[in-house]
Amino acid sequence: MQTPPVPRLVLYGRTVLVAVALLVAATTSATAFGAYNPAWDGTSELREQVVEDPNGTVALESTAYAETTPANTTAFVIAPTASYTPADTARIEAFVDAGGTLVVADDYGPHGNELLQAVGATARFDGDQLRDEQYYYRAPTLPVATNVSTSPYTEGADQLTLNGATAATPGSARVIVATSSIAYLDRNQTGSLTPEDELGRYPVVTAETVGNGTVIAVSDPSVFINAMAAQPDNQAFTTQLQATNTHVVLDYSQTGPQPVLAVARLRLQTTPLAQLLLGLIGVGVTWSVVWSWPAAPEILRRMLNRVIPVAVQSRLPPWLSDLISMADEPRIDRDAIRASLAARYPDSERETRDRVMTAVLSSDTRETDHE
């Protein structure tokens, strides 16, 4: 085997690279907080953790709320980038009212507060950056929330490590995680502590009863991103939020574009008709490929002849019984017969030899039919 010339090898290499790039683009996303974003600011690790459980669901539409058992389900909305429609919020409100647990994580955008208001929660996200000059991870903009109250949602967590968080205004909600007593909101955006800044203990996670359900507000969606999952005690907190119910829904319906193949796969998983159509297409393609093999028809006939009893064959539809009966019929090679006649009777005309061959074959067929 000869080695392809260098230019051809380069072309092959480029083709492979393009194919890989297209595959990666179709299966991953660069959207911040995206479910299919494997980078530091994505939530792909959370998605993988949730879908490992058969009761975990990634939702791209709010209709997923109507398909759950609310009393056994916790739904996450992480950093929404667009407003929910009235129809969307009606579904989510009904989910909470029927006993569902809704976790809304946001910081500076307006859409988290819009959703909290729409479902009847009183907690809100402040919107100014939270800082702590003493208790932090790497920088004051990554404060460590050291005040954790006992609750079903914080079991196993003694602190949360934040990243660019804001504070939560609790309203009538219970504060279950708060900063140290010397944190502050940088309202004048100086990037440092000034005399105007108010030191205090600021809520970052609240929980409240709404209808028959619960709404949990987390004022830093970065708690759930890949880069922060391993920081104390973010993973324990995330795991416990999921563990309080048997079903988990990750609502990414308002978190930006998702990769094409991932969307197609989710559509397929949640649409029985699409699964049926894909199955039929697969059967059709397989049948076409197999039937294009020259020996396939004969093999199929012989298999049917072996597995279907003779008594049953007589009751089958004509098209199927004919197919089976053909399995034992010898295949007549007319070209071989012509060649044999020509060799034996070289002086005869071809037309005469063809008439003889046709007559003999017709006679054999009639005798077989009489038998």
The pLDDT tens digits for 82-130 are 999 999 999 999 999 999 999 999 999 999 999 999 999 999 999 999 9
Confidence of residue 137 (pLDDT cuts 50, 70, 90): very high
Burial status of residue 62 (CB atoms within 10 A of its CB: 0-12, 13-18, 19 or more)? buried
The mean-pLDDT minimum among 9-18, 24-33, 137-146, 242-251 falls in 9-18
Residue 279 tokens read as 């199955």
Cα Rg of the chain, angstroms: 35
Burial status of residue 47 (CB atoms within 10 A of its CB: 0-12, 13-18, 19 or more)? buried
First CA to last CA distance, the chain = 58
> What CATH number should be reported for the domain whose range is 29-270?
3.40.50
The mean-pLDDT minimum among 16-30, 153-167, 247-261 falls in 16-30
Percent of the chain with pLDDT over 90: 60
The mean-pLDDT minimum among 81-85, 111-115, 136-140, 265-269 falls in 265-269
The string of pLDDT tens digits covering residues 277-323 is: 655 666 666 656 655 666 666 676 677 777 777 666 666 776 666 66
* CA separation for the pair 54, 343 (Å, rounded): 73
pLDDT, residue 87, reads: 97
Nearest 5°: phi and psi at 347? -90, -10
In the predicted structure, residue 365 carries a pLDDT above the cut 70: no
In the predicted structure, residue 364 carries a pLDDT above the cut 80: no
In the predicted structure, residue 260 carries a pLDDT above the cut 70: no
- The 3-class SS string of the chain reads CCCCCHHHHHHHHHHHHHHHHHHHHHHCCCCCCCCCCCCCCCCHHHHHHHHCCCCEEEECCHHHHHHCCHHHEEEEEECCCCCCCHHHHHHHHHHHHCCCEEEEECCCCCHHHHHHHHHCCCCEECCCCEEECCCEECEEEEEEECEECCCCCCCCCCCEECCCCCCEECCCCEEEEECCCCEEECCCCCCCCCCCCCCECCEEEEEEEECCEEEEEECCHHHHCHHHCCCCCHHHHHHHHHHCCCEEEEECCCCCCCCHHHHHHHHHHHCHHHHHHHHHHHHHHHHHHHHCCCCHHHHHHHHHHHHCCHHHHCCCCHHHHHHHHHHHCCCCCHHHHHHHHHHHCCCCCHHHHHHHHHHHHHHHHHHHHHC
Q: Where are the domains of the chain?
A: 29-270, 286-370
